[in-house]
Amino acid sequence: MAKAVAGYSVRYFIDNKKLIPHLSLFHLRTTESRFRKLEQIVEKIASRFAGFPIESIKFEQYGDGTGVNYVLSKPRELQKLNKETVVRVKSLRTGVLYPWYRTRKYSRIQQDYIKKYGTIWSVEKGFIPHFTMGRFISRGDAAKVVEKMKKINFEFMADTIAICEINNNGQVYKILKTLKLK
């Protein structure tokens, strides 16, 4: 990504240093006092799931056209892991994930997700496995980077689950706890 974005006006890009590539199972706002309970739940989940392969499907622009991401496969094991994570940790949330949710219009289903989960991301029909790779100032710059990156495909073994801190763009900047799947 660093090579692909060189020379373009970038808001941010995933560099595996300040921003870490990740596939989100669930985003929630919680408190420090609930962190130990979160760790315990995630440890139990990790002990129940074995690793599984995931592959990239395509590199594309998304949203308003300024964002770019890798769309990933959605194996059954990943869907089960997502569902169990959401169900088991949603009770630890302490409110809506982002205050800016109040400033936008949402469909009825998205409004229901915000009420039920505090987020629209990675829940039920909103679970769309992907790696967000960056956001640009212009759609044109994003399109040029898509042309450079779209031929790069990969497969990896999903064998780790992590509890992380995210910024207001939903990007991981700090890993708090990492656990191996069984």
Which pLDDT belongs to residue 103?
79
Per-residue pLDDT tens over the stretch 80-138: 999 999 999 999 999 887 776 777 888 999 989 988 998 988 999 999 999 999 999 99
The DSSP line for 79-108 is: HHHHHHHHHHHGGG--S-S-GGGGGS---H
Per-residue pLDDT tens over the stretch 40-64: 999 999 999 999 999 999 999 999 9
**C-alpha span between 25 and 127 (Å, rounded):** 8
| Distance from the first to the final alpha carbon of the chain | 31
Considering its fold, how many domains does the chain have in total? 1
**C-alpha span between 70 and 58 (Å, rounded):** 6
Question: What is the 8-class DSSP label of residue 124?
Answer: G
Domain that holds residue 148: 2-180
Find the CATH number of the domain harbouring 76: 3.90.1140.10
Which pLDDT belongs to residue 153?
96
By DSSP bridging, strand 52-62 and strand 130-136 are unpaired
Per-residue pLDDT tens over the stretch 31-42: 999 999 999 999
